[in-house]
Every structure is written in C-alpha cells, then in structure tokens.
Structure 1
Amino acid sequence: MKPHRRMRRGGRAERGARPAKVPPPGELTGMDVVLVGYFSAKERHYLVIMDEFASAVAALGAQVVGRFVQRRGVSDGGARTMDAPYSSRTLVSAGKVEEIALVRERTRADAVIFLNPLTAHQVETLTGLFNCPVLSSQDLVP
C-alpha cells in the first residue's frame, strides 16, 4: 500500500502525509466547507442550483465558506465540449483547482464538496491537491 501524498507548493507531493478524515454520510455539523459545481453552458439556472446545494449543505450543519462554479462550453471549444469534463483527473480545469486550493487554505475549510458525482480517482487526486477530504453531493446522502 502506497503512503498518502500531500501536495506541496509547486505541485510536488509530500510522502507520508496522513489521509484526510472523511465525515460519515450526512454528518457535516460544525465543518467549514467549500462548494464546487461543474455545469454545461446549456444550464442557465446554475446559480439557483448552487444556492439550493448550499442550503442543503447548511441544513446538514456545515458552514459554506466558499463557492466555485466551473462552466464548460462557454469558450475554449464551444458546443462540442459542453458536456465533457475539463479533466478526467479533476473534473474542473487546472486553474479552477488552483483557485479552490487557495481559498480552501485561506479559509482553513475542513472539506471541499462537489455538486457533481466524482470517480474514486478524482476524489483521490483532489484530496491530495486540496489536502482535505473531497466529497460529492452523493456522499452526503445517508
């Protein structure tokens, strides 16, 4: 079993870092969290969806300290890329990952929660990049 790696500045991993503790489903009481939503440009009501997501997370006892939206198909490839992830590794673009990581660090958020489903590989990659637990909205259902 490989040791968990924590990302250092400059994108290098630190060996031997302890894995972040993932809260049990539906249990976010007292946690500060950053929310992330990934949307196709076809979705016109993405802000309403993010507001509903923030309300649902707050109802589970968490405090939302940051919100990020990544839209696809608005530029950089247009209509043919609207439903495709920016990255199979992280779902969102590298620039958005950096923005999220910076806010997560500044606010000392306990977790990053994606509205969208994530693969096990994406969760593992993002957990290492953000140095905290990464969940999807599907993980919040008990």
Structure 2
Amino acid sequence: MHQPPRRDRRPARRARPEPIRRQASRLTVMGADVVVVGYFSAKEKDFVTLMNSAATGLAVRGARVVGQIVQRRGVSDGGVQKMALPFSSRTLLSHGKVLEVAEACERADADAAVFVAALSGRQQRALTALLGCPAVSLPEILAAG
C-alpha cells in the first residue's frame, strides 16, 4: 500500500541552548583569595611589572593575592621559534605548570585562579576542571567592574 508523502521533510528545529555565562560574572573578587597566573614570552622583559600591576588591580577590587605563578615561553634555546605560541591551546600553559598552579591553589585554598592573559571559554572550562577552582581572565574581571 502506498503511503501519502509527508508534508514537511525538514528536520525539526532544536531549541538553542542557553548561552554559557562567563566565570567572571559569578566570581566576586571582593574578599576572594586568588592566585595570579601570568603567561609571557621571552620578548616581554617587563613581566614582573605586569604581574605586580595585576596584583594591585585585584587588591584594589578587594581580592587577596595569595600566590603568583609565571610561565615564560622562549627562554630556552628550543623555545625561541615557538615564542608567540601558547604551550597548549587547551590550557595555555604547559602540563607541569598547570599542575603547579593546581597545587598552589589547593595549598592556599584559593577561590580562583586569575590569568593575566585573556582566556577563551574552552580554556576557562578546561582550566577550571584541572585546577579545582574557577579560572578567570583579568580583562573580564576588570571589565565587570
């Protein structure tokens, strides 16, 4: 027996998922213990000043900086050619440095890890899962107020 053709052969539309809210909006830095993490190439000679200004900016907003960790790229001879690239597109840092940051966050019982560099949503999710505390970027915190 012949079936009548369906009127609409288009697939059903799916409802759009809720947009993911950024970590910075959920994190209140007032009274939070934070670890500041910086990623700098060897070309950046003044990274200490950048780390200190990031710590000062967070302290002005009421955060307590309980640790600072720096990842340098291109300091060794082998890294010079890849100096502008992150160690990992997923985490920005090398695997060992991620473990070091996680250990520092756990030891200091930090509420968040604040990265001086801007993080993508994928990097924030991966780092939050690996560190055990929210990973946020400093530009988002400064933009939030």
**TM-score category by the smaller chain?**
0.7 to 0.9
Change (3 A) 1:50 1:130: same
Distance in 2, Cα, partners of 1:127 & 1:25: 13
Distance in 1, Cα, partners of 2:50 & 2:65: 15
Match of 1:15 in 2: none
1:133 Cα deviation from its structure 2 partner: 0.9
Distance in 2, Cα, partners of 1:59 & 1:47: 18
Q: Which structure 1 segments of 5+ residues have no match? A: 1-20
Show CA shifts across 1:76-98 (max 9, x none): 62321111100011001111001
Q: SS of the residue aligned with 2:91?
A: coil
Q: Are 1:108 and 2:109 counterparts?
A: yes
Match of 1:61 in 2: 62
Q: SS of the residue aligned with 2:25?
A: coil
Match of 1:92 in 2: 93
1:27 Cα deviation from its structure 2 partner: 3.6
Structure richer in strand, relative to its length: 1
Percent identity between the two aligned chains: 47
Match of 1:10 in 2: none
Distance in 2, Cα, partners of 1:101 & 1:110: 12
Q: Which structure 2 segments of 5+ residues have no match? A: 1-21
Q: Are 1:74 and 2:87 counterparts?
A: no
Change (3 A) 1:22 1:119: closer
Q: Which amino acid aligns with 1:29?
A: M
Show CA shifts across 1:52-107 (max 9, x none): 11000111100000100000001162321111100011001111001110010011
1:42 Cα deviation from its structure 2 partner: 0.4
Query: Superposition RMSD on alpha carbons, in Å?
Result: 1.8
Distance in 2, Cα, partners of 1:106 & 1:42: 31
Distance in 1, Cα, partners of 2:85 & 2:136: 20
Q: SS of the residue aligned with 2:122?
A: helix
Q: State the structure with more CA Rg.
A: 2
How many residue pairs were aligned? 122
The answer to whether the 8 A contact 2:24-2:136 is kept is: no
Change (3 A) 1:50 1:105: same
Show the 5 A alignment for 1:1-142.
22-24=23-25, 27-75=28-76, 77-140=78-141, 141-142=143-144
